[in-house]
Amino acid sequence: MLYLIRIIVLIIFTGTFVQSAELKMFYQHIAISSIQLADGARLDQFYSRLHLTQDIDWNTSLITSPTAQKYFELRSLILKKKLEQLEYYWLQQGETGLTQSVRQLKNELFKISVAGRIKAELDPDIIRLQVEFNRPLIGHYSLYTAPHHEFLYLQGLINAKSIITLQSGWSIEQYVNNTTRLVGADESMGYLIEGNGQWKQVPLAYWNKKHIEPAPGATLFIGFEPTLLPDEMSDVNTLIADYIANRIPQ
């Protein structure tokens, strides 16, 4: 019996030692490298073995894991269900314009390439200087990167190009001034979603405007006018903002 216990302990510890962490790196959706190190190796140790080009926009980069992805998929199912319920609700009310707005939004929204974002600092220069951001990796991770682009995404209840070039000195409302909105769109407030996944509500109307210049890779999302939403759907706009915050950089 003692001999068997020793064998089991040996197997457990041996298994622990051979476990490894893996980081797969993608550049513009294309897998370019996969690095394996011991569980608990720091992010900068993986970076030292990767070919990191100078054009990577680390502010829009995204890292995910199977656990983060599973949680994100569950949240996405909740959002899809609520949008389906909202579409059915307005359809039953005879609100043709609002029903069409939901359908168009769904069609646009779920074409976005997304992954379950882990909130983390990814810039190599920062994590090397500030050890608290140099996270250990345990298990499997995917790192999505893309080059720096001077553009802004427009999403939601708006008729406009989905990607537009940033203009020096322009405030957010200038990007939507000459556009038309879908039925039920919020005319006064939008959601500015930064490339790193952080977002906030921003004013868009003439009477409440503030000078806010969007950063490259950000998304301006136009949601539903809150007073039109039934109580059980009141969080739809924020759920959508959370969803877009998981965009894979391109």
Q: What is the pLDDT of residues 18-58, one digit of tens each?
A: 479 999 999 999 999 999 999 999 999 999 999 898 999 99
CATH code of the domain in which 12 resides = 3.10.20
d(CA 46, CA 37): 8
Query: Is it the case that residue 16 has pLDDT exceeding 80?
Result: no
Same domain, 80 and 193: yes
DSSP 8-class letter at 103: H
Residue 130 lies in a domain: yes
Looking at the chain, the number of H-run helices and the number of E-run strands are 6, 13
Tell me how many degrees the CA angle 228-197-240 measures, rounded to the nearest 5. 25
Q: How far apart are the C-alpha atoms of 221 and 246, rounded to whole Å?
A: 13
44 and 154 housed in the same domain = no
Q: Sorting pLDDT into bands at 50, 70 and 90, what band is 205?
A: confident
Residue 180 vs residue 17, higher pLDDT? 180
State the pLDDT at residue 160: 87
What is the count of structural domains for the chain? Answer: 2
| Model pLDDT, residue 241 | 98
| Whole-number Å distance between alpha carbons of 247 and 250 | 9
97 lies in the same domain as 50: no
Tokens representing residue 1 in the block? 């019996």
pLDDT at 5: 39
Domain that holds residue 27: 2-65+119-144
Which pLDDT does position 3 carry in this prediction? Answer: 44
Q: What is the pLDDT of residues 83-141, one digit of tens each?
A: 999 999 999 999 999 999 999 999 999 999 999 999 999 999 999 999 999 999 999 99
Answer yes or no: are the C-beta atoms of 50 and 37 closer than 8 Å: no
197, part of any domain: yes
| Any domain includes 250 | no
The pLDDT score that the predictor gives to residue 192 is 98
Q: Is the pLDDT of residue 11 over 80?
A: no
pLDDT at residue 141 in the model: 97
Residue 85 CB-density burial (10 A; 0-12 exposed, 13-18 middle, 19+ buried): middle
Q: Could you read off the pLDDT of 136-187 as tens digits, one per residue?
A: 999 999 999 999 999 999 999 999 888 999 999 999 999 998 899 999 999 9
The answer, yes or no, to whether residue 12 has pLDDT greater than 50, is no
pLDDT digits (tens, 9 = 90+) for 56-79: 999 999 999 999 999 999 999 999
Q: What is the pLDDT of residue 206?
A: 73
* Same domain (yes/no): 8, 30: yes
For the entire predicted model, the pTM comes to 0.89
Write down the mean pLDDT value for the chain: 90
Residues 103 and 125 in one domain: no
